[in-house]
Chains A and B, each alone.
Chain A
Amino acid sequence: MTELTLLAAYGILVLITLLLQVLGSMRTLSMGYLMSARDEPREVGLMTARIKRALDNSITAMALFAPAVLLLEVQDKTDNASLLACQVFLVARIIYLPVYALGVPAIRTLAWLAGFAATAILYLLAL
């Protein structure tokens, strides 16, 4: 397992989150609306709204995580510490999704913090 494998795995996690959001929207909104241009916004259910917020957060986290991994790879600066940081990031973000969807309060914040700290460490290692 390398940092790149973990980055690819995170990409797939984001795609799964996206798919869950689409499937959740299909439960409350009609296919006719979903396939239209959605000119007037409509409300989705509580859990789908949470998955949507988790998705937005995961995309922001991805925009910060991916450059750090690519920087380390291009400079050949990967080591055990960077591998561990990537593993912590991925595990934290995997926990983040169901914990957000189920509305578990403190653990979600801790998982977010772990992912944030792991990303910050990757940048320190890359510099």
Chain B
Amino acid sequence: MSTELTVLALATLWQMVQFVLYALPANRELGPGYTMSARDREPARPMSDRTARLGRAFDNHTEWLLLFAIAVGVTELSGQGTPFTAACAWAYLIARVAYVPAYAFGLTPWRSLIWSVGFLATLLMLLAALI
């Protein structure tokens, strides 16, 4: 398996870890009675800032994983993998792992800078496939 595909599998596993990191405190704070209901109303007590941040970090990675999967899929199927695209893939994964603690602990401006690394890595992979 190529580096890009390996990193895509790892990034998807990381998304599942992110889900657990969010779901565990969310269930503890809101109570399973609320989380297992149809959630028609807002919870009686909102979740903590840190848990809400983990939720936003999870949502953000859902979007990015989709863009990254397209970049990897296009690179693989067109046979355009190079050491450069492999480096972009690793940069993406490292940035997305670092993004979660940076968000949870509210590290300014690191969260934004780390986000830009993931943005650039994905953009460069897509451009490399087009050129």
**For chain A, what secondary structure do more than half of its interface residues adopt (helix, strand, loop), or is it mixed?**
helix
Say yes or no: is A35 at the interface (Cβ < 8 Å to chain B).
yes
Partner of B66, one of A36, A39, A63: A63
A2 CA to B80 CA, complexed, in Å: 14
CB of B61 within 8 Å of the partner chain: no
A5 within 8 A of B: yes
Tell me the complex Cα distance, A97–B73, Å.
25
CB pair A38–B56 under 8 Å, yes or no, is yes
- Contact string, A33-57, partner B, CB cutoff 8 A, digits 1/0? 0111111000000000000000000
B residues less than 8 Å from A63 (CB atoms):
66
Option from B49, B66, B106, B112 in Cβ contact (under 8 Å) with A59: B66
Q: Contact check: which of B53, B70, B127 meets A7 at CB < 8 Å?
A: B70
- Complex contact A66–B123 (CB within 8 A): no
Task: State the Cβ distance, B126 to closest chain A Cβ, in Å.
Answer: 5
Task: Indicate if the CB atoms of B74 and A7 lie closer than 8 Å.
Answer: yes
Contact A11 B67 (CB under 8 A): yes
- Min CB distance B21 to A, Å, is 15
Tell me whether B119 and A37 are in contact (CB under 8 A): no
Q: Which of the four size classes fits the interface of chain B?
A: 20 to 34
Question: With an 8 A cutoff between CB atoms, is A73 at the interface?
Answer: yes
Decide yes or no whether B96 CB sits under 8 A from chain A.
no
Complex Cα distance A5/B73, Å?
Answer: 11
Interface string of B82-121 (1 = CB under 8 A from A): 0000000000000000000001001011011000000100
Is there an interface contact between B112 and A4, defined as CB atoms closer than 8 Å? no
Cβ-defined contact, A15 with B126, below 8 A? yes
- How far does the Cβ of A8 sit from chain B's closest Cβ, in whole Å? 5
- Complex contact A70–B77 (CB within 8 A): yes
Q: Which residues of B contact A39 (CB under 8 A)?
A: 49, 52-53, 106
Does A74 reach chain B (CB closer than 8 Å)? yes
Which residue from B49, B53, B71, B111 sits with its C-beta under 8 Å from A11?
A: B71
Inside 8 A of B56's CB, which chain A residues have their CB? Answer: 38
Other contacts beyond A2-B78, A8-B70: 15, CB < 8 A? A4-B78, A7-B73, A8-B74, A8-B130, A11-B74, A12-B127, A15-B119, A15-B126, A18-B119, A34-B112, A35-B108, A35-B109, A36-B106, A39-B53, A62-B67
